[in-house]
Amino acid sequence: MGDNGSFTVEIPAGSIAGTRLGHGPPALVLHGGPGLSGEYTEQLALELADSFDTIRYQQRGQEPTTVREPYTVEAHVDDAMAVLDGLGLERAWMVGHSWGGHLAMHLAAAQADRLLGLIVIDPLGAVPDGGEKELEENLTKRLAPEAAERVNALDGELLAGRGGEAEITEMMRLVWPFYFADPAAAPPMPPFRSSVSVYSGTWDSIRSHFAAGTLVSNLPGFSERALFVHGRESPIPPGRSEESARLIDGARVEVVPGAGHFPWLERPGSIAAPVRELL
């Protein structure tokens, strides 16, 4: 049982800020991005609060957490472990969405003995590029040609470490409706904060791990329970979760009909139900 409320844990480069909600075994909720603020996972934590002591924290690069480098997969893994250590937790579930789901898989690969289990929601997958190219194509193919051209140009600038928060916000607003199964019914975009340096630096690290085959080599050693939940209409195809799950013996895959990249928003309860079955 956790102590509901806010917390701060110290790390060598500064501190990490977060919140806790719910009762049950501890679960770190890892937000997407990389480089975004993580407030949007609040509703996900609320959905899981009957099953878990949900622990959400802001990843490095956005205040109130430290904004210092490095922005690498390894640094993000270390930060997650620092949260567990700072809260006095030996082990926890990892619940990750999008890039956070990819990070959760890296935690399972690198720190298996600290995990109670793995819940991965509409992730950037483990192989071969996780669906990155398909994500870009699917988000832009329904845009008007001039909007698609603008999105591609913005993404190239951001990955090169140029531009700023205004450019990320512009890109997100253009593509936001197409993360959902029904773009016309998409909810308003939440007020994300963003960091170009975290985005570009972390993506460089992600791609280096794809090239090295880190997850392909190490995920088969993970032996705890694992669940992948994926929206059938997500711009990241469900096949990216299915092929990732095949790396873990006994992992389950739940494909949610009528849902895109944020299943708990479009189909409330679609995460909690398979989690209850898993537990």
pLDDT of 130 higher than 70: yes
φ, ψ of residue 167 in degrees (nearest 5): -70, -40
Model confidence at 255, in pLDDT bands (50, 70, 90)?
very high
pLDDT mean across residues, the chain: 93
pLDDT level of residue 3 (50, 70, 90 thresholds): low
CA 134 to chain centroid, in Å, comes to: 17
Specify the long-range contacts of residues 205-211, CB closer than 8 Å, at least 24 apart: 205/71, 205/72, 205/73, 205/74, 206/34, 206/73, 206/99, 206/102, 206/124, 206/130, 207/129, 209/73, 209/106, 210/127, 210/128, 210/129, 210/130
DSSP reduced 3-state for 18:
strand
Give tens-digit pLDDT for 133-164. 999 899 888 888 888 899 888 888 877 877 78
Residue 220: DSSP 8-state: G
**Vertex 111 angle, CA 108 and 117, to 5°:** 45
Q: Taking CA 193 as the corner, what is the angle to CA 265 and CA 94, rounded to the nearest 5 degrees?
A: 55
- What pLDDT is stored for residue 165 in this prediction? 80
Kindly tell me if the per-residue pLDDT of 55 is higher than 60: yes
pLDDT above 50 for 16: yes
Confidence (pTM): 0.94
- 8 within 8 A of 78, measured Cβ to Cβ: no
pLDDT given at position 138: 92
Percent above pLDDT 90 for the chain: 75
Cα 172 to chain centroid distance, Å, stands at 16
Dihedral sign computed on CA atoms, order 127, 128, 132, 138: negative
pLDDT at 1 exceeding the cut of 60: no
Q: How far apart are CA 102 and CA 108, in angstroms?
A: 10
